[in-house]
Amino acid sequence: MSLALIAALPFLGALLPGIMIRAGRNTCALATGSVTALALIGLLLHAPAVLQGEVIQTQITWMPLLGLNANFFLDGLGLLFAGLILGIGLLIITYARFYLAKSDPMGQFYTYLLLFQGAMVGIVLSDNILLLLIFWELTSLSSFLLIGYWRHLPEGRQGARMALAVTGMGGLALIGGMLILGHIVGSYELTVILENRELIQQSDLYAPALLLILLGAFTKSAQFPFHFWLPHAMAAPTPVSAYLHSATMVKAGLFLMARLWPVLSGTDLWFWLVAGAGLITMVMGAVIALFKDDLKGLLAFSTVSHLGLITMLLGIGTDVAAVVAVFHIINHATFKAALFMTAGIIDHEAHTRDIKRLGGLRTLMPVTFVLATVASLSMAGIPPLNGFLSKEMMLEQAADVGFFFGLMVTIGAMFSVAYSLRYIVHVFLGPKRDDYPAKPHDPGFGMWVSPALLVVLVVLIGLFPNTIVGPLVATTGGAVIGSTDLPYYSLALWHGFNIALLMSVAAVALGYLVLRFHPLFEELWNDARRPEAKEIFDALIDLCARGADRVTNLLHDGAMTRYLAIFTASAVLFGFAAFMGGTHGSGTRETLPMSVVPIIGWLLIITATIVTLMVHRNRLLSLVMVAVIGLIISIGFAYLSAPDLALTQLSVEVVTVILLLLALHYLPKETPVESTPGRRIRDGAIAGFAGLGVTGLLYAIMTRDHDTISWFHLEQSYPGGGGTNVVNVILVDFRGFDTFGEIIVLGVAALGIYAIIDAALRGPASRRLANFKPDFRRAGDRHPMMMVVATRVILPVALTVGVFIFLRGHNEPGGGFIAGLVVSIALLMQYMASGFTWAQKRQRFDYHAIIAAGIIIAALTGVGSWFYDAPFLSSAFDYYTIPPLSEFELASAIAFDVGVFLTVVGSVMLALAELSRIGRHTSVSVNKDAMDIDPRADTPAAKVEGH
Amino acid sequence: MSIIGEIIISVLLVGAGFFGLVGSFGLLKLDQPMTRLHAPTKATTLGVGGVLIASMLFFLFFAEGITFHELMITLFLFVTAPVVAHFIAKAHLHRNWKPEDLPSPEGSTRWSTYCEPDQPGSGKPDSTEP
């Protein structure tokens, strides 16, 4: 199976759970599981080759100019991580099926989980570091969704926010670091980067690159001083904690360090930063874990501690230490995921995770007891379990570094033993209690099978390390150190009497003693003054938020005048500065003589502008003046031989004025005086300078000859696009992609109006609207017969005009956009004449659907060209003859234009519909008949109905 | 033939120009909005109508033949002008007059624009404010 497909499968599969949940929870889990299983099988098919030392590659060119290609490669390290992600993922999916309550939206959960899984698989398989960065950010986002899955819990939301803030910040740093790395090497391909150790380490940019990359890795893997987000992320459902926070996401940072280990490690800076942070994290995490009463809190800090341990091993920088790190990654993933799942089981059955309220569960939950005990002992490093193997090797490596390292690591191991034993002793042993919040008992098979499988692995790896994981460790270790020449190490339980064994025995013995005297230590711990990471973080975030608020409010306080003034003033200043900074010669082009018509238009537009300024407090009048300006501009377009623009401007003007008038109905008709004379002078000065500046610019452009690309469009319009109307060919063909984007924007804007009004009608605005009193006395006969009849007569004519303009658009002025506006106006007139309620009853298609249909038709037209091996939105045209008709042209662009047409109609009508919704929220009556006074009625009196 | 056509067209154009002038002059001269409403009707019907007929004759006599564009323009003018006039008059009555200052329409009915839309059949004309 192609590597790209393996990475894409979870993303594609993420569509399934949402659909399958309708068929029940089992089907949903099964569908999700089969997606993961399929990807896992695809991966395992590559396993034999990879274990032989081959590197599998899939290359897809995406954006070669940016250096961004969808290149994937699979070596030992990738295989290990992808195997962990998909394998444990499968177990988690099974576990989650039984863990989630009936009220939890399971489809959503599995969708998030698959998105996350895809992002993780993407990280570990990426060959291109830019692609890796994309997946990296996706893990941050999808983990945010997963941590905040129980959105009704404030801890869940806060924890999700904190995780996103910390890992997102790290992600930004990582982007910088990776870009520097790519810059040093001159390639964004990992396989190339990994071969340039010398080049990278001798570069001046090595230190900043390393710092930024480590910032990304440390935040993701919760290394000191960024360790604090992980325990707060424990507000997530337990399957998420078991998956993200033991086996996968927090290991992404480790993966990155391991991946780049061949080129980044070995320097002093690397040693001090990585081994130092790892050591501190390991010891500190272990100490805090011992004093956590929350089961998941304990496990979270123990994870922090173990991640620190692995980081430290990678930081030591010797080949053996790197191999040990790989081995411990495997072991930690197995026992920690199992432990998290048992914690989830206890929470699920006993309804509490507080160690202080538990104890004596041994006989009540025998299966869980066995599983938790084996996994805990492995975490403590007790033989013959797998945790013992890697811990021994780790102790030996640490002891080799120096006495201080050895001592600190032994202390860390001691606390590790203590909290592991605490998980057994304080939860399962001891007397049975009678005050559990619920009656604890073992869960069903479905819930304990996943941890049980992992526990079996824990034991098997411990007993037969070489058989089970020997080849994997060798291949992965080789991939990490970047050579096939592996150092000597031995995966075995018994290495003889050596310093590591001594340290191990000391840690276990002391750890047991620490647990014996736990109450004493706990008292000391609780009395000590400790900095609370969450408070510091909150204060920091608060500070940032307030600072950002202050800056934002300075520039943009919600008053349009403020930011228009700032924007215009800075544009003027920069323009002026640019002008003064360069040289200037006057234009050489001859100016044209003035003729009468433009002067009249010019005078009209100036008059209208001045009048707008004078009457701007009367909103209706100023709207009329603005419309006058718009009309003169469209006449200007017509005069300058741009009939398409003139038609568009004219119809846009009509639609805008009508919609503005309707909106104005619910707003005050006068603008209150808010500005002081000083401010008016300031604003006048800014506007004046800006106007003069634009005039100067236009004058400069018009008095010069310059090259444009118009000749290309004019030349190619007919042979290339099959149309003689160059404007339309540009819109639907040459720049079709722009138009496609624009109609999407238009549709989104219309939906935005819908969303805003929909939300507003539920809030306090709704109550204000209910008490709405029109400013003017309302007229009777709101829908006069004359208007009704006139619009009915015009409707077919207007629709015909719309169709005509649409059809001829490709060769003569017209096209989908204008036709859409014309038809909208024709429909708007019906609504105006007979009222919205009446017209709405005769409207059969939903406006949302019309917008969607428009965009889909446009998109399908574009996709259609793929079937002819042409790029998106290539257009084709040909000439046909059907006997009675003369020869005519069919262009694929016309289908695209249909999409434009529908989107325009839908958007305009949706805006209208929303305005009328405001109207129907007021207590003002609506009509049901076509007209208020119907001459057919017997009584000629006003015939109006209320609500 | 051509000289006759030219004369007819010229007469029509001059006549149309005259009525256009009268309409514009009336718009300035007349002082009441309701009387003013009469002035532009001359300009739109006789003024524009004359130009349109002249244009049709021109194309008939001197160009490619009979055209229908002018008929369309006439149709749109005839449809839109009364509606616009109706709304101007309605708005004027609504904003500047009280019902009691106006003569009553025939029969027992009221001027429709003074009906209260929210309370059908309340019987008395609303007179709260102009």
Q: Which residue of A has its CA nearest to B107?
A: A940
- Taking contacts as CB-CB distances below 8 angstroms, the residues of chain B near A933 are 112
Strands A68-74 and A56-63: antiparallel
Q: Is the pLDDT of residue A175 over 90?
A: yes
| Residue A431 touches chain B, beta carbons under 8 Å | no
DSSP helix/strand/coil, A810: coil
Angstroms from B79 CA to nearest CA on chain A = 6
Q: What are the pLDDT digits (tens) for A624-656?
A: 999 999 999 999 999 988 888 999 999 999 999
Whether residues B115 and A782 touch (CB distance < 8 A) is answered with no
Q: Quick one: pLDDT at residue B117?
A: 60
Q: Mark yes or no for CB contact A779/B94 under 8 Å.
A: yes
For residue A481, give every residue at least 6 positions away whose Cβ sits within 8 Å of its Cβ, in sequence order, or none: A261, A262, A319, A322, A323, A487
Say which amino acid occupies B120.
P
For chain A positions 533-562, those within 8 Å of chain B (CB to CB) are none
> What is the DSSP annotation of A835-853?
-HHHHHHT--S-HHHHHHH
Q: What is the pLDDT of residue A730?
A: 86
pLDDT at B65: 79
What is the predicted ipTM?
0.82
Chain B residues with CB-CB distance to A946 below 8 A: 118, 120
Q: pLDDT digits over A658-694, tens only?
A: 889 888 888 888 888 888 889 889 999 999 999 999 9
Neighbours of A194 (CB within 10 A): 18
Average pLDDT on A475-479 reads 86
Q: Tell me: the pLDDT tens digits for A496-524?
A: 778 878 888 888 888 888 888 888 888 88
**Chain B residues in contact with A781 (beta carbon < 8 A):** 90, 112-113, 115
- How large a percentage of chain A has pLDDT more than 70? 98
Which residue in chain B is spatially nearest to A927 when comparing CA positions?
B117
Nearest CB to B79; choose among A778, A790, A945: A790
> Distance between CA A463 and CA A145 in Å, rounded?
39
A945 touches chain B (CB under 8 A): yes
With an 8 Å Cβ cutoff, is A779 touching chain B? Answer: yes
Structure tokens at A340: 């998290």
DSSP letters spanning A406-418? HHHHHHHHHHHHH
Contacts of B116 in chain A (CB under 8 A): 778, 780
CA–CA dist B47, B20 (Å, integer)? 5
| Contact list, A932 vs chain B (CB under 8 Å) | 112, 115, 117
Q: Shortest Cα distance from B93 to chain A (angstroms)? A: 10
Q: Give chain A positions within 8 Å (CB) of B112.
A: 780-781, 784, 932-933, 942
Tokens of A840: 């709405």
Burial class of A87 by CB neighbour count within 10 A (0 to 12, 13 to 18, 19+): buried
Q: Which residue of B has its CA nearest to A924?
A: B118
**Residue numbers in B near A940 (CB within 8 A):** 107, 109
Which chain B residues are closer than 8 Å to A794 by Cβ?
A: 79
Q: Sketch the domain layout of chain A as residue ranges.
A: 265-516, 522-555, 724-947
**Is A9 within 8 Å of A72 (Cβ atoms)?**
no
- Alpha-carbon distance B78 to nearest alpha carbon in chain A (angstroms): 10
pLDDT of residue B116: 66
What number is the average pLDDT over the span A75-80?
89
Q: What is the mean pLDDT of chain A?
A: 86
| Alpha-carbon distance B60 to nearest alpha carbon in chain A (angstroms) | 25
Query: Is the CA virtual torsion A722, A726, A727, A730 positive or negative?
Result: positive
Distance from A854 to chain B by nearest Cα, in Å?
31
> Per-residue pLDDT tens for A568-618?
999 999 998 988 888 877 778 888 888 898 999 999 999 999 999 999 899
In this prediction, residue A470 carries a pLDDT of: 82
Helices (H), A291-360: 295-316, 319-350
pLDDT at A745: 95
Of B82, B90, B129, the CB nearest to A777: B129
The C-alpha of A939 sits at a distance from chain B's nearest C-alpha, in angstroms, of 9
pLDDT tens digit at each of 130 positions of chain B: 688 889 999 999 999 999 999 999 998 888 888 888 888 887 888 889 899 999 998 888 888 778 888 888 888 888 888 888 888 888 888 888 887 788 877 776 777 777 766 544 433 333 333 3
As a whole number of angstroms, the distance between CA A113 and CA A13 comes to 10
pLDDT of residue A946: 40
Has this prediction a pTM greater than 0.80? no
Maximal C-alpha separation, chain A: 114
Please tell me the distance in Å from A927's CA to the nearest CA on chain B: 9
Subunit contact B118:A793, Cβ cutoff 8 A: no
- The pLDDT value given to residue A947: 39
Structure tokens at A48: 């034999």
In DSSP notation, A496-538 reads -S-HHHHHHHHHHHHHHHHHHTHHHHHHHHHHS----HHHHHH
- Is residue A21 over pLDDT 60? yes
- Residue A777 and residue B126: Cβ atoms within 8 Å? yes
Q: Where are the beta strands (DSSP E) in A506-574?
A: none
